[in-house]
Amino acid sequence: MTLLYPLQSLAAHPPRLSPAYRSTVKRAPQKPLIPIRQTLSELTGPVYGHETVRANDNDLTIQHKGEPLGERIIVHGHVFDEDGRGVPNTLVELWQANACGRYVHVVDQHPAPLDPNFTGAGRAQTDASGYYRFVTIKPGAYPWGNHHNAWRPAHIHFSVFGHSFISRLVTQMYFPGDPLFPFDPIFNSVTDDKARARMISSFDLENTQPEWALCYRFNIVLRGRNATPMENKT
């Protein structure tokens, strides 16, 4: 038995070759891709990491002895399928730069300070309705060398694992009103305006906690006409 997911929603995702995003010129395939049917064992194989999610892995502000510097925020939402149904028991990971725009990674040599109380990574598992929630710090913009005076808008990377090891999707969440949107080749590699807007979170006053943290809602749609653009899809 073999299965193949529908290809109609692929139009929402950025092309593998986006010349303004310079690194895609070297890594984009030079020949048309050949869809390979996935076997039942690939689609229903062992899950990855779900069983090791701890109670506080979704709060990036309490992972160290002290509290990290920056603006505390809540990021929450649902993981939906193409029909708007919540997807339960989905492993959601995030990683991000700190409030100064620097990652805890040896390759990141941006001359901005590291925060000893902020590692920038967290995990959560969706509940029965597909809901997830994180507490973190709003990341800063940072330079990335793609072109002259290139800066990435503030963003958070999301990784979503399904019910088999190979079903992993990766996207980025942006913040509303960022002035760097028009100048970012990665954000603009998604050519459809409506699809691009689905990568921007919405400010959620109702779930903001007074005197503690602002809140942003970011729903992730896995496929279909309202799919969230993904980095690893074509």
What residues act catalytically? 103, 142, 152, 155, 157
| Beta-bridge partners for 215 | 74
